[in-house]
Amino acid sequence: MNNFVYFNPVKLIFGKGTITSLSEVLPKDKKIMLVYGGGSIKKNFVYSQIINSLKGFDFVEFAGIEPNPAYETCMKAVEIIKAQNVGFLLAAGGGSVLDAVKFIAAASKFDGDPWNILAEKAEIKSALPLGSVITLPATGSEMNAYSVISKKATNEKLAFYSQEIFPNFSIIDPEATYSLPIKQVINGLVDTFVHTVEQYVTFDVNSPLQDRQAEAILKTIVEISNDVINKQNDYESRANFFWCATSALNGVISCGVPQDWATHMIGHELTAFYGIDHAQSLAIVLPRVWKHNIEHKQSKLIQFGKRVFDIKGKDSKKTAQKAINKTEEFFQSLGIKTKLSDYGIDAKEAAEKISKRFKERNTKLGEKEQLTYKDIKNILKKC
């Protein structure tokens, strides 16, 4: 097992009716900014419960954070925060709203051009404190210190990490997911699945506990996915789904193991250039990244196939291939497409555009940094 440091300060408040606990965890002595997206929180009970809990608090609202949150929109919030002396940020919505709030928190305290937080990975010395009411199981943003922001002007989508942007608390009421459009539910299942395998289907470092923690999430997702999709108001499957999503990216399963993230890095570019949803990009890219890396990943692919999908067979390349095929079939069975052509995107063009970007940035991807821009081009051509 590799060395590791584990740190996670997020207070997670989980279950039915938990939004009412907001009044206990919000600071009384600071002006609060409630940040949300395009209005989904007003179509269910989330907005009204938050507003009720905010009685007696000094707060302003900032609406209009879009999916794949825009840098440009975030900077408008920063201006208001500075003008009105806001001291605490409350995100209400999906991962996009929360990621936006994390960036706004850092940008509000940043000296210099805030785009450098993303483009140059500039050091963040401090950030405004923040909390969340998260309404979409997918990103794990509620319990991690990552944020992904897009710059519309240049078609860029970049991530950053800072311990300063951990939420102080996150509230999850699984009943808030009942209003999710089915497409977002499917996206969330796929994102959770891919987060888990990015930290598990790599190479063996003798980490049986972490392997089984990852397999527990994957098997649970496979087991509950039918109920999650088909029983809209089923509390148990939605609660289990949300806890899987949070657990997949709160730092636990990555302790002491190699991590891949090539699928995410390539997927982010597909979203930046073509606007397809985050999870849609992952469902396309993952099987091709795995096929390209089948030799590096063979033993983990076999273990994954046998333990998660009950595949039978010898410890051979053929069994690893079966595990890849089974994964793509699983995605398709959920109702998500797995080819660029399904979205009218020309694979050759995407391969050129995106590999050029990785060449310019001089970045290599994968758990052994084994993928150059040339590999990325080949992977995308097969998408």
Q: Does 187 bind ligand NZQ (CB under 6 A)?
A: yes
- How many residues line the site for Zn ion (CB under 5 A)? 1
Q: Does 176 bind ligand NZQ (CB under 6 A)?
A: yes
Q: Which does 67 bind (CB under 5 to 8 A by kind): Zn ion, ligand NZQ, none?
A: ligand NZQ
Q: Does 141 bind ligand NZQ (CB under 6 A)?
A: yes
Cβ distance to Zn ion smaller for residue 191 or 215: 191
Q: Does 146 bind ligand NZQ (CB under 6 A)?
A: yes
By CB under 6 A, the residues from 261 to 320 that bind ligand NZQ are 264, 278
- Is residue 64 exposed (0-12), middle (13-18) or buried (19+ Cβ within 10 Å)? middle
User: Which residues have C-beta within 8 Å of that of residue 31, sequence separation ≥ 6?
Assistant: 58, 59, 60, 84, 85, 86, 87, 88
**Nearest position to Zn ion, beta carbon:** 191
Task: Cite the DSSP H helix spans in 249-293.
Answer: 262-274, 278-292
Q: Does 70 bind ligand NZQ (CB under 6 A)?
A: no
Q: Does 191 bind Zn ion (CB under 5 A)?
A: yes
Site string for ligand NZQ, 234-253 (x = CB under 6 A): ---------------x----
Q: Residue 161 is inside which H or E element, if any? A: strand 156-161
Measured from the Cβ of residue 204, the count of other Cβ atoms closer than 10 Å reads 12
Spatial distance between the Cα atoms of 101 and 148, rounded to a whole number of angstroms: 11
301: left (phi over 0), alpha (psi -120 to 50) or beta: alpha
19 close to 46: Cβ distance less than 8 angstroms: yes
Measured from the Cβ of residue 229, the count of other Cβ atoms closer than 10 Å reads 17
Q: Does 68 bind ligand NZQ (CB under 6 A)?
A: yes
Give the residues lining the site for Zn ion (CB under 5 A).
191
Contacting positions for ligand NZQ (CB under 6 A) = 37-41, 44, 67-68, 93-97, 99, 135-136, 138-141, 144, 146-148, 176-177, 179-180, 184, 187, 191, 249, 264, 278
